[in-house]
Amino acid sequence: MKKILTIALISLVFIGAGQAQETLTLQQSIQTALDKNIDVIRSRNSLQISESNLTAAVGDFLPTLSASASVGRNGSSFDPTLFVPSGVSANGSASAGLNANVTLFDGFRNISSYNRASSSADAAALNFAKQKQTTVLVVQQAYLTVLRNEQLLKVSQENLKRSQQQLSRIEESNKVGAVAKADVYRQQVQTANDELSLINAQSNYDNSKQDLLFLLGLDVTRDYNFVDATVLQQLENLNFDSLQQEYADYNKLVQEALEARPDYKASLLARDVSANDLTIARSGHYPTLSLGAGYGMSGDGLGTISDTKTWNWRLSLSVPIFNGFQTSTASQNSALNFELAEQQVEEAKRRVAKDVRSALLSLESARKRYDVSLKNLRSAEEDRRIAEERYNLGSNTLLDLLVATANYTSAISNKVSSSYDFIYAKLQYRIAVGREKF
């Protein structure tokens, strides 16, 4: 009895604490994860680096411009003579110049470098979108686990409450000789088992909350209240018929996924990057043509720096003859990488088809489990009611009632789990097809 009172007090404490807790909805959890998750931050930084590289690639088309200036004084000493008694000579110098140089042709290296940087930036943006999808799916799964464990905790609380009430009735009946002492002992054991189930359910609920808070980068010592009306609305409006019509055409869904999935489109851009790498490597076989110009001033000092003015322009041609097979080796490696990139595109395409198929199978399996759980719950509820009536009339044993009650509790738990499993399967399906964007 002390254990029962202790558990009841614990439950009241949790309920009372929940009233003062800060509410954290699913959308708030998703936004928190997108702001604080380390993988999202790393992917965002990679995108910014790629955008900076694109700016640098644009600079390859622009002329380089440099300015220089110097001022100095130099001298020498020597043995004095009759005509130069000091023995020391010194003079000053000052100069300034401006030089510019632009590449006219480099074997298409600058064009390919720009295309490569552009494709890399676009791929980084797609990878960032994919990372956000992955993070959101993980958060949704963790959040749904919290809600499911909360419902399972309530099931355990209700089950313990029924066991306690049943124990009280059996003890009163035993006092008047209506039931045997063995029934009292058997019900006490069942009540103790239900107490243990409640403790485990509470532990699972608390651990799932801590896991979610850790995932979000929040303080795990703080207590939050997890309630989301959108999830509850999905549970109340589970529509299987519309979904069945939606995923009836598998080939159409695969095509939709290929057009929308960021990971597949990133693989196409990765192939473009490899193609540009190959062009850059082969550019070493071509000559380089550049145009340069300069303007300068010089004098004996700062005051006379403009006395002498010079200018020049030059057209330079550099033809590669032999560089130790470096160009040939780089071209061969780039060609192999391009071949690998093409294979990775095909692999990504197969992965999309596989993900869509797996998502459809999971969705259909979750739908069937939910449908079966509803039927089992109706059957178990009726069996428990009949077993309870028969036991109260003395035409059934306590063991029969305990079995019926256990089946009923299991049916409720299965119904709760299958509901949340179906919602998660639907989220996986939408991401597999490429409909979720964040």
> For residues 232 and 25, what is the distance between their CA atoms, to the nearest angstrom?
12
Give the pLDDT score at 172: 87
Does residue 71 belong to any structural domain of this protein?
Answer: no
Nearest CA among 402, 363, 405 for reference residue 384:
405
Q: Which helix (H) or strand (E) holds 97?
A: strand 88-105
Q: Return the bridge partners of 98, or none.
A: 67, 295
Model-level pTM?
0.78
> For residues 243 and 249, what is the distance between their CA atoms, to the nearest angstrom?
11
Nearest CA among 270, 233, 34, 251 for reference residue 137:
34
Q: Which helix (H) or strand (E) holds 222?
A: none
Structure tokens at 417: 């789990």
Give the pLDDT score at 331: 93
Percentages helix, strand, coil for the chain (3-state, rounded to 5) are 70, 15, 15
Taking 50 as the pLDDT cut, the residues of the chain under it are 1-10, 12-19
What CATH number corresponds to the domain at position 404? 1.20.1600.10
Give the pLDDT score at 16: 44
> For residues 267 and 353, what is the distance between their CA atoms, to the nearest angstrom?
15
Does residue 47 belong to any structural domain of this protein?
Answer: yes
**Structural domain for 374, as ranges:** 2-7+21-66+93-433
Does residue 289 belong to any structural domain of this protein?
Answer: yes
Give the pLDDT score at 124: 94
Does residue 34 belong to any structural domain of this protein?
Answer: yes
Give the pLDDT score at 7: 47
Q: 3-class DSSP state for residue 248? A: coil
Number of compact structural domains in the chain: 1
At 226-282, the pLDDT tens digits run 887 777 677 666 666 666 667 778 899 999 999 999 999 999 999 999 999 999 999
Does residue 210 belong to any structural domain of this protein?
Answer: yes
Contact residues for 257 (Cβ-Cβ < 8 A; gap 6+): 264, 352, 353, 355, 356, 432, 433, 434
Give the pLDDT score at 82: 62
At 204-222, the pLDDT tens digits run 999 999 999 998 888 888 8
Give the pLDDT score at 243: 66
Structure tokens at 347: 């692999």
Does residue 153 belong to any structural domain of this protein?
Answer: yes
> For residues 428 and 173, what is the distance between their CA atoms, to the nearest angstrom?
53
Dihedral sign from CA coordinates of 193, 194, 200, 204: positive
Q: Return the bridge partners of 100, or none.
A: 65, 293
Give the pLDDT score at 2: 45
> For residues 426 and 421, what is the distance between their CA atoms, to the nearest angstrom?
9
The runs of H, that is alpha helices, within 261-325 are 262-282
Does residue 76 belong to any structural domain of this protein?
Answer: no
> For residues 411 and 404, what is the distance between their CA atoms, to the nearest angstrom?
10
DSSP code per residue over 100-159: EEEEEESTTHHHHHHHHHHHHHHHHHHHHHHHHHHHHHHHHHHHHHHHHHHHHHHHHHHH
Residue type, 71: V
Structure tokens at 344: 């990775």
Residue type, 192: A
Backbone angles phi, psi at 67, to 5 degrees: -125, 145
Contact residues for 134 (Cβ-Cβ < 8 A; gap 6+): 39
> For residues 22 and 216, what is the distance between their CA atoms, to the nearest angstrom?
15
Contact predicate 128/190, CB 8 Å:
no
Q: 3-class DSSP state for residue 81? A: coil
* Per-residue DSSP letter, 285: G
Does residue 194 belong to any structural domain of this protein?
Answer: yes
Give the pLDDT score at 19: 46
Nearest CA among 368, 353, 369 for reference residue 432:
353
Give the pLDDT score at 236: 64
Give the pLDDT score at 87: 58
Give the pLDDT score at 235: 65
> For residues 131 and 129, what is the distance between their CA atoms, to the nearest angstrom?
5
Structure tokens at 125: 């943006």
